[in-house]
Amino acid sequence: MNRPDSLTRFNNEEFDICIIGAGASGAGCALDAVLRGYKVALIDKKDFASETSSRSTKLIHGGVRYLEQAFKKLDFAQLKQVRHGLEERHIVLKNAPHLARPLALMTPVSSWFEGLYFKIGLQLYDAFAINDTLPKSKWLSKKEVLDKIPTLDPKKLHSGVLYYDGQLDDARYCLAIVQSASEQGAAVANYMEVNGFEKNESGKLVAVNAVDTRSGNNYTIKAKLVINCTGPFADHIRLLANPALPERLRPSKGVHVMLPAKTLNSEYAMLIPKTSDGRVVFAIPFEGATMIGTTDTEYNKVSEEPMLNEEEKQYLAATLNPYLAKPVELSELRSGFGGLRPLLSADPGKSTKSLVRDHEIELDEKTGLLSLLGGKWTTYRLMAKDTIDEADAIFSQQKPCITDAHILAGGEHFDRESWRKLATDFALSDEVARHLMSKYGSRAGKVATIARDNSLLAEKLSPEYPYLKAEVVYAVRTEMAVTLRDFLARRVRMEITDWKETLNVLPVVASLMARELEWTEEQEKKELAEYAALIQKFIAGAQLA
């Protein structure tokens, strides 16, 4: 991916399709469209996956809670959503096996009756998952549950129901989709904010006006069709094109907190089946930490980044603690993050937690703007397929969708054990080799080569994490990392797992990026100070001393 090349193409070419927003939805649409032979531009006002798509619970799932609601309320829309999620689950796992993996989840229960209820429910969940090879659910004894998650409180535990879903590194998965689209010929760029449109005499969109927020330069990207994939920000773009459109989005805030891995001391995740506000909460091992989430509250300030606050921190700890033998101390909290669900509602009276997570495609007849609204990570490919099918209809074409069989960047010839060969070939520790393989897949050798060619870059960024200095260089040269946050929050996931260590490694990352991107000393200082101030704001917001 080469940003200057893409910017030149935006000035010189006319595209079939310009996609606004490079989260899961926009990246998925770009790959689908380019594989069908369309000439595609993909732009985002910030970084790829910088909004909701890097701040999810990271589950590839049909949603056990949605299944429960579907049966309790005889809600067929929820049932369809579960079926779609489970149909897509195995494709998400198969197409980027380095970034997505099966995840075992334990549901602890406090009575025989509760165990039976969840066993029947999860057996139904299994039955919806046709075409996939994940193990089926199992009802386990108390001893078996404690063997798997030793930190649970034996006094309150009767038994547990184990089931499987998928887990992905959401930000890197999105990046792999963008990289794949780019490798197929799409022009992609981050930090391109759409601020207007050009229309022809009949009012149809013919070009997108965007500003490169890094340089301040303006671009007019000509395109026959514009697709709006801006998730929770979709109303802004819809109304920018046609102010007469009614608002559709009901964004809802969800936060997660990160605790040390010893909280569960397990590779198994846990589903807390009932919270005080009638939802489910997960405790999931992720990147050497235990991630707890999420909340669900209406959020109207979409222009402000949703941050973890003191009340949410207390709520998540209070939800988890009754299950643990030793309650978590809030002082152990390492970090947290918030995201906005792009929920859709025609009924302002409904609570956000009852809204279906399904997607909808809207064609504004007046301007020709196509908007992909709602949805979830798990179904991103299906959402993209439905959107580009609609684009096909607009172009009077019938090009087949082939994304179900398209292996994403880094997933080619991937073998779970190949980290061993990487470790031997490049004299890397097992920890580093495993990390590189799990993030870059079949391209891990390219990062290892940078480290081998310069011993300074073979050093780790932090003694506590397997991240190498070489990854900063690779991220800038190959993955279009432009800011410190691009690297620390999304190319590696340190910002979301450990705020204090993020601050510690910041000067080194800044100096490596400054050299690669030819920043002046003044710019390096400014980038460092701004990002450090943001992390300090997160720490203060969550009242972490």
> Shortest gap between Cβ of 21 and ligand FAD (angstroms)?
3
Q: Closer CB to ligand FAD, residue 78 or residue 159?
A: 78
Q: Closer CB to ligand FAD, residue 21 or residue 121?
A: 21
Among 301, 299, 303, 300, CA closest to 193: 303
Q: What six digits make up the tokens of 116?
A: 């039976």
> Shortest gap between Cβ of 362 and ligand FAD (angstroms)?
13
> Shortest gap between Cβ of 190 and ligand FAD (angstroms)?
9
> Shortest gap between Cβ of 378 and ligand FAD (angstroms)?
4
Q: Closer CB to ligand FAD, residue 45 or residue 434?
A: 45
Phi/psi for 434 (5° steps) reads -60, -45
Among 405, 410, 16, 397, CA closest to 183: 410
Q: Closer CB to ligand FAD, residue 88 or residue 501?
A: 88
CA torsion sign, 218 to 224 to 227 to 233?
Answer: positive
Positions that interact with ligand FAD (CB under 6 A): 20-26, 43-46, 49-53, 55-59, 193-194, 229-233, 237, 254, 294, 339-342, 375-378
CA torsion sign, 192 to 194 to 195 to 200?
Answer: positive
Q: Tell the residue number behind the tokens 């991103």, with chain if given.
A: 380
> Shortest gap between Cβ of 282 and ligand FAD (angstroms)?
8
Phi/psi for 286 (5° steps) reads -150, 120
Q: Closer CB to ligand FAD, residue 344 or residue 433?
A: 344
> Shortest gap between Cβ of 515 and ligand FAD (angstroms)?
27
**In one letter, which amino acid is 464?**
E
Chain centroid to CA 498: 18
> Shortest gap between Cβ of 251 and ligand FAD (angstroms)?
9
Q: Closer CB to ligand FAD, residue 342 or residue 411?
A: 342
Q: Closer CB to ligand FAD, residue 151 or residue 379?
A: 379
Q: Closer CB to ligand FAD, residue 338 or residue 410?
A: 338
Phi/psi for 72 (5° steps) reads -65, -40
> Shortest gap between Cβ of 170 and ligand FAD (angstroms)?
7
Q: Closer CB to ligand FAD, residue 51 or residue 68?
A: 51
Among 250, 367, 308, 348, CA closest to 499: 308
Q: Closer CB to ligand FAD, residue 149 or residue 237?
A: 237
> Shortest gap between Cβ of 174 and ligand FAD (angstroms)?
7
Beta-carbon contacts of 298 under 8 Å, excluding residues fewer than 6 positions away, are: 250, 251, 252, 253, 351, 352
Q: What six digits make up the tokens of 149?
A: 């998650």
Q: Closer CB to ligand FAD, residue 486 or residue 524?
A: 486
How far is 403 from 379, CA to CA, in rounded Å? 12
Containing 160, the helix (H) or strand (E) segment is strand 159-168
CA torsion sign, 477 to 483 to 487 to 491?
Answer: negative
Q: Closer CB to ligand FAD, residue 233 or residue 419?
A: 233
How far is 363 from 359, CA to CA, in rounded Å? 14
How far is 240 from 388, CA to CA, in rounded Å? 22
Among 41, 99, 194, 92, CA closest to 490: 99
> Shortest gap between Cβ of 296 and ligand FAD (angstroms)?
8
How far is 216 from 510, CA to CA, in rounded Å? 22
Among 23, 95, 31, CA closest to 401: 31
> Shortest gap between Cβ of 57 and ligand FAD (angstroms)?
3
> Shortest gap between Cβ of 521 and ligand FAD (angstroms)?
29
Among 48, 58, 55, CA closest to 181: 48
Among 61, 71, 42, 72, CA closest to 105: 61
Chain centroid to CA 63: 16
Helix, strand or coil for residue 135? Answer: coil
Using an 8 Å Cβ cutoff, are 515 and 454 in contact? Answer: no
Using an 8 Å Cβ cutoff, are 311 and 522 in contact? Answer: no
